[in-house]
Amino acid sequence: LLATENLNVEHRKVSTAFFDVGARTLVLPIWQEMSNDLYDMLVGHEVGHALFTPENEWRKAIDKGIQHSFLNVIEDARIERKIKDKYPGGRRAFVDGYLDLIRKDFFGLNGLDPNELNLIDRINLHFKGGSIHGIEFSEEESEFVEKVKGTRTWEDVVRVADELYEYAKDHD
């Protein structure tokens, strides 16, 4: 219903939720403990991909050599912003769902200083956890955070992913 199309929805023993843009299948993990907010956040995130991630353009970007992980982090930030704008009642589930994942150490940060991670990982955590991680960015890095925040179109995502990857090759 949220995706405004007939998606296949499957619950599987997988490590995280995902959306297969080609098969139009939303896969949700079967976890022993999952709060309603976490479930709603996972659904909202993946429905964001269903609504806003263009399958053919995704494949073209990968074929062109744009790094998958960079595309994914930047597209995640964009689609989450867009899904929260489309369904503002789900905003709280994103906050509480990510807090739940952080408490469960889903991102594998226990014992690590997140400021020692590479830039793309810090940007990912910043957009998923906000200020809770205490992540710091240099002035130059903050420009990339703003670029990610400013993505509106798929073309923006590809451009920023390419720029960020080129920067990271020399700095991470």
The pLDDT tens digits of the residues spanning 150-168 come to 999 999 999 999 999 999 9
Give residue 81's pLDDT.
96
Given a contact cutoff of 8 angstroms between Cβ atoms, the answer to whether 15 and 29 are in contact is yes
Helices (H), 53-113: 55-63, 68-86, 91-103
What is the Cα 109 distance to its own chain's centre? 17
Q: Which residues of the chain have pLDDT under 50?
A: none
**pLDDT tens by residue, 16-31:** 999 998 899 999 999 9
